């Protein structure tokens, strides 16, 4: 692909001669209005974020069932005792987790209980999973660094929430992947 | 007509804008908006998206204003923000796909009045605008950043997360296609001189 | 067909490691998986912007430290969340990133890191010391980590991985984490299917190591065929389908790559080019809008779409 240097310079000159300014799309007042709108949308998202994390974490329990949850949290308990627990006659009080943290913990334990990958993997699926895992790891490393530097915990909550949402996405994808694999 | 990269803002005005003086903020906005938007429009063909990215850019400018060190002209700093916003967008397939802009971008790449930036096109400028708009998005961005904004291949490669040879081949592609629009030797007249002549 | 045969061998009962069986009525299936993948990538995209904004709002020193990365690949990741408050006996592990290098090494939440590469970490500075090591970690340079768990110590080997990279654009502009490579999730490679060779299967294919290509990419991409065993990619030996995916994902479309494969019991070196995700390969379902809003079924997750502020 040879292009004559003179032609090149000529073209470059023409491009540089184009106007470098144009009418602004809107004025300062409108800019302020849009900025306010965005801030409102952001804070709405912030409020919903926590709700989302709770709901998404609740998915794990809902999908897997309370029995599976008990199995995960009390693996040493014999099956009969587990069913006693659900019927409420057991000595130990067990109920669905009622905090975001508890539910997130379940999600992670469930992930840890899975084999690393299904027997047969689809590359596109695994690339997304790798993306999620790497992003979560990046955030975890960042949180470690931030905490070591003395960052205020309140400031890190939003990032922790990001992490929770990503873990939930990962749970959903891996669960769906497991189902597809099991149905072959 | 000032290029974005050359725009200087008096230190005093910046200080007042940082301090929350609304009039000062408005002045900074008004001084930089035309050039900032013009650059973004060169890089992003879709008008709605360009406005979105312009809003992003100007908001980031205000958010980060306290960090501006004054080592380079203000416009150069703002240009960096604008370019990075545009490239973040162009590099993100999810964004583009979700807004169905990949196909639209190419369609708008061929001549459409919404892609023209010049308010009152004169024949010569019209040609160049049309030629530029006809390029595929990546090639257009590379040729603009290299030939007009003066970025190096290394810098452009970094923006795209690709190699220097990627930048060079995109530039070559752009030049090849642009050459089809122009003949090798024309007059030295620039758009501005033609425009002012045409106004009489 | 070879693929059917391979699947039949792989999925013989006894070889299948199924997770907890799904609840009755939970049909799953390919469409559901695709929808979940699509949603996951939306989440990654939204979180990239949100993380960029969040890290920018933190004090400048953090932002600077976070955004100084080693080279284009980004900082190496370890994937461990350390707790600042803890005893003086070492660095307390609060969380371990699922599927991350620390998780693969066997580190668990609740562990206390007491030594790294032979150097003890103790006292108030323990967490800081470990963080320093995390920051300096280089991909594939193994770290030996001693952890205290249930009163006993264990030696674990952590292999840092290249991070997904950060798109940093200079002063004053928040750095944004990069997305998974587009050409891997879309395009000819995305539908390739791989399986880790077990010793049993290995006998059948003539090699004990490597990753089996159960379904090759279409149109001869990467020159692979069904039944090939992928032994090495430019010398790097994949240990699993996931590992092979990561290795391939580290390339750029258009880059040349040498694949060593075992094909019909013969070793071959294939010189191939990483394919571009051309529009023709795009699966339209990936770009469809989310399903129409309806009341979520019981147990169904509500996927938060990032509301585009000014549309």
CB distance C83–A59 less than 8 Å? Answer: no
Query: Which of A130-139, B24-33, B80-89 shows the lowest mean pLDDT across its residues?
Result: B80-89
Q: Model confidence over B104-124: pLDDT tens digits?
A: 344 333 333 334 444 444 555
**Least CB-CB distance to A62: which of C102, C131, C298?**
C298
pLDDT over threshold 80, residue C71: no
Shared-domain flag, residues C256 and C125: no
Last residue of a domain, one of B65, B90, B109: B109
Q: Residues B99, B118: one domain?
A: no
C58 closest CB neighbour out of A151, A169, A172: A151
Cβ separation C301–A55 shorter than 8 A = yes
**DSSP characters for A39-65?**
HHHHHHHHHHHHHHHHHHHHHHHHHHH
3-state secondary structure C281-296: HCCHHHHCCCCCCCCC
A11, A19, A26 member nearest B117 (Cβ): A19
**Chain A nearest CA to B33, separation (Å):** 6
C266 min Cα distance to partner chain A (Å):
23
Question: Considering the domain boundaries, does residue C300 fall inside one?
Answer: no
Q: Are residues B41 and B117 part of one domain?
A: no
Structural domain includes residue C298: no
Residues C141 and C247 in one domain: no
CB contact under 8 A, B179 and A3: yes
Q: Are residues B94 and B119 in the same domain?
A: no
Task: For residues B18 and B39, state if they share a domain.
Answer: yes
- Cβ of residue B71 closer than 8 Å to a chain C Cβ: no
The subunits that touch chain A, with at least 3 C-beta pairs less than 8 Å apart, are B, C
pLDDT (tens digit per residue) in C265-291: 899 999 999 987 655 433 332 222 223
Taking an 8 Å cut-off on Cβ atoms, the answer to whether C51 and A131 are in contact is no
Domain assignment present for residue C115? The answer is yes
Q: Which residues of C touch A121 (CB under 8 A)?
A: 193-195, 240-242, 245
Out of A48, A133, A172, whose CB is closest to C99?
Answer: A133
B85 and B173 part of one domain = no
Per the structure, the complete domain to which residue C90 belongs is given by 75-162
Cα Rg of chain C, angstroms = 22
Distance of alpha carbon A139 from alpha carbon A158, whole angstroms:
11
Provide the percentage of residues in chain C whose pLDDT is more than 70.
68
* B88–C167 C-beta distance less than 8 A: yes
What is the model's pLDDT at position A73? 43
- B168 touching chain C per CB within 8 A: no
Residue ranges of alpha helices (H) inside chain C are 2-10, 30-57, 60-67, 101-105, 126-136, 182-185, 199-205, 241-249, 284-287
Same domain, C99 and C208: no
Do C203 and C118 reside in the same domain of the chain? no
Least confident of A31-40, A71-80, C138-147, C194-203: A71-80
User: Of the candidates C108, C132, C162, which is a domain's last residue?
Assistant: C162
d(CA C1, CA C161): 37
- Same domain? For B28 and B92 the reply is yes
The answer to whether residues C126 and C214 belong to one domain is: no
Do B153 and B65 fall within a single domain? no
A·C CB contacts under 8 A: 281
- Within 8 A of A140 by CB-CB distance, chain C residues are 79-81, 95-97, 100
- C124 and C269, same domain (yes or no): no
CB contact under 8 A, B100 and C287: yes
| The most confident of A26-40, B153-167, C51-65, C275-289, by mean pLDDT | B153-167
Chain A contact set for C79 (CB, 8 A): 133, 136-137, 140-141
Of the candidates A144, A146, A175, the beta carbon closest to that of C62 is on A146
Measured CA to CA in angstroms, residue B88 lies from A139, B99, C308 at distances of 20, 15, 16
Q: Spell A56-65 as b/e; 16+ CB within 10 A means b.
A: bbbbbbbbbe
On whether residue C233 sits in a domain, the answer given is: yes
Averaged over C164-177, what is the pLDDT? 57
Do B120 and B105 have their domain in common?
no
Which of C137, C162, C187 is the C-terminal boundary of a domain?
Answer: C162
A43 compared with A176, residue with greater pLDDT: A176
Pairing mode, strands C143-149 and C119-120: unpaired
- Interface check for A73 against chain C (CB to CB < 8 A): the answer is no
Cα separations in angstroms, C134 against A82, B104, C17, C102, C137: 41, 44, 34, 11, 5
Comparing CB atoms, the residue among B55, B84, B97 nearest residue C173 is B84
Does residue C296 form part of some domain?
A: no
For residue B32, the tally of other CB atoms under 10 A from its CB is 23
Number of domains within chain C: 2
Chain A residues with CB under 8 Å of C62 CB are 145-146, 149, 151
Is C63 a domain residue? no
CA separation, residue C267 to residues A58, C192, C233 (Å): 50, 21, 13
Same domain for B157 and B99: no
- Chain B residue at shortest CA distance from C283: B97
Chain B residue with minimum CA distance to C252: B162
Please give the pLDDT value at position C275: 87
pLDDT(C72) > 60: no
Among B57, B91, B109, give the residue marking a domain's end: B109
Domain co-membership, C175 together with C283: yes
For residue C104, tell me if it sits in a domain: yes
Shortest alpha-carbon distance between residue C194 and chain A (Å): 5
Separation of alpha carbons A86 and A78, rounded Å: 13
Residue C28, pLDDT score:
64
Residue C303 lies in a domain: no
Q: Which of C162, C193, C219 is the last residue of a domain?
A: C162
Least confident stretch, A48-57, B140-149, C128-137: A48-57
- The larger pLDDT score, comparing residue C281 to residue A28, is at A28
Whether the per-residue pLDDT at A51 is higher than 50: the answer is no
Q: Which domain holds residue B56?
A: 1-109
- B34 and A24 within 8 Å at the Cβ level: the answer is yes
Flag if B38 and A19 touch (Cβ within 8 Å).
Answer: yes
Q: Which of B93, B109, B125 is the last residue of a domain?
A: B109
CATH code assigned at C48: 2.30.42.10
Same domain, C145 and C204: no
Cβ contacts of C285 on chain A, cutoff 8 Å: none
CATH at residue B38:
1.10.1740.10
DSSP at C220? G
Total number of domains constituting chain B: 2
Same domain, yes or no, for C169 and C156?
Answer: no
pLDDT of residue A99: 57
Q: Do C188 and C52 lie in a common domain? A: yes
Which CATH number belongs to the domain containing residue B148 in this structure?
A: 1.10.10.10
B44 touches chain C (CB under 8 A): no
- Taking residues C301-309, report their average pLDDT: 29
Considering only CB atoms, which chain C residues are within 8 Å of B161?
A: 72, 165, 167, 178
B69 and B127 co-located in one domain: no
Out of C7, C57, C310, the one facing A34 most closely (by C-beta) is: C310
Residues B78 and B117 in one domain: no
Closest CA in chain B for residue A30:
B55
Q: Tell me if the pTM is above 0.90.
A: no
Indicate whether B74 and B26 sit together in one domain: yes
Residues C93 and C43 occupy one common structural domain:
no
Q: Give contacts of A 37-76 with B, CB under 8 A.
A: 38
Q: Does B102 touch chain C (CB under 8 A)?
A: yes
Same domain, residue pair C202 and C243 = yes
Q: How many residues does the structure list for chain B?
A: 200
């Amino acid at each position: 692909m040879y292009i004559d240097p003179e032609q090149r310079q000529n073209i470059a000159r023409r491009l540089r001669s184009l106007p470098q300014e144009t009418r602004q799309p809107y004025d300062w007042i409108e800019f302020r209005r849009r900025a306010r709108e965005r801030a409102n949308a952001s804070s709405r998202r912030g409020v919903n974020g926590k709700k989302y994390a709770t709901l998404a974490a609740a998915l794990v329990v809902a999908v897997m069932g309370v029995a599976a949850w008990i199995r995960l949290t009390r693996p040493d308990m014999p099956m009969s005792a587990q069913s006693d627990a659900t019927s409420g006659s057991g000595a130990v009080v067990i109920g669905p987790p009622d905090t975001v943290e508890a539910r997130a913990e379940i999600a992670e334990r469930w992930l840890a209980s899975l084999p690393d990958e299904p027997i047969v993997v689809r590359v596109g699926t695994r690339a997304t999973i790798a993306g999620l895992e790497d992003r979560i790891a990046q955030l975890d490393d960042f949180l470690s660094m931030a905490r070591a530097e003395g960052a205020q915990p309140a400031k890190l909550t939003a990032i922790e929430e990001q992490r929770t949402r990503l873990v939930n996405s990962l749970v959903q994808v891996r669960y769906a992947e497991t189902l597809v694999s099991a149905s072959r | 007509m000032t290029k974005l990269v050359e725009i200087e803002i008096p230190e005093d005005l910046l200080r007042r804008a940082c301090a929350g003086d609304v009039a000062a903020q408005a002045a900074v906005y008004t001084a930089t908006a035309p050039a900032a938007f013009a650059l973004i429009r060169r890089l992003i063909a879709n008008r709605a998206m360009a406005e979105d990215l312009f809003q992003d850019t100007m908001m980031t400018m205000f958010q980060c204003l306290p960090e501006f060190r004054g080592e380079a002209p203000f416009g150069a700093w703002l240009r960096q923000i604008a370019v990075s916003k545009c490239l973040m967008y162009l590099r993100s397939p999810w964004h583009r796909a979700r807004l169905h802009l990949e196909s639209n971008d190419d369609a708008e790449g061929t001549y459409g009045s919404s892609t023209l930036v010049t308010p009152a096109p004169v024949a010569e400028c019209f040609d160049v605008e049309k030629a530029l708009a006809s390029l595929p998005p990546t090639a257009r961005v590379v040729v603009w950043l290299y030939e007009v904004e003066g970025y190096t291949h290394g810098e452009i490669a970094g923006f795209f997360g690709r190699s220097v040879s990627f930048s060079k081949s995109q530039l070559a592609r752009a030049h090849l296609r642009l050459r089809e629009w122009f003949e090798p030797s024309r007059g030295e007249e620039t758009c501005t001189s033609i425009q002012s002549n045409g106004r009489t | 067909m070879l693929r059917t045969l391979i699947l039949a061998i792989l999925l013989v009962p006894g070889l299948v490691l199924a997770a907890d069986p799904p609840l009755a009525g939970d049909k799953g299936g390919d469409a559901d998986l695709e929808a979940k993948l699509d949603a996951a990538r939306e989440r990654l995209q939204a979180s990239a912007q949100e993380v960029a904004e969040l890290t920018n709002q933190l004090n400048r020193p953090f932002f600077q430290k976070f955004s100084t990365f080693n080279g284009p690949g980004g900082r190496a990741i370890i994937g461990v969340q350390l707790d600042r408050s803890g005893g003086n006996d070492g660095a307390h592990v609060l969380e371990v990133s699922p599927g991350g290098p620390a998780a693969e090494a066997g580190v668990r939440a609740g562990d206390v890191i007491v030594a790294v590469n032979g150097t003890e970490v103790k006292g108030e500075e323990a967490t800081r010391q470990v963080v320093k090591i995390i920051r300096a970690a280089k991909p594939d340079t193994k770290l030996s980590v001693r952890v205290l768990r249930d009163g006993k110590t264990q030696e674990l080997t952590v292999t840092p991985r290249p991070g997904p990279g950060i798109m940093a654009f200079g002063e004053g502009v928040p750095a944004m984490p990069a997305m998974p490579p587009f050409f891997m999730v879309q395009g000819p490679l995305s539908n390739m299917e791989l399986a880790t060779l077990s010793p049993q299967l290995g006998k059948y294919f003539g090699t004990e190591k490597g990753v089996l290509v159960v379904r090759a990419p279409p149109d001869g991409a990467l020159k692979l065929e069904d039944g090939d065993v992928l032994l090495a990619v430019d010398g790097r030996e994949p240990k699993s389908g996931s590992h092979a995916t990561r290795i391939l994902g580290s390339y750029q479309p258009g880059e040349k790559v040498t694949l060593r494969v075992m094909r019909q019991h013969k070793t071959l070196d294939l010189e191939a080019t990483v394919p571009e995700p051309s529009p023709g390969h795009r699966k339209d379902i990936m770009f469809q809008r989310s399903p129409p809003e309806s009341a979520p079924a019981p147990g169904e997750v509500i996927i938060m779409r990032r509301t585009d502020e000014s549309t």
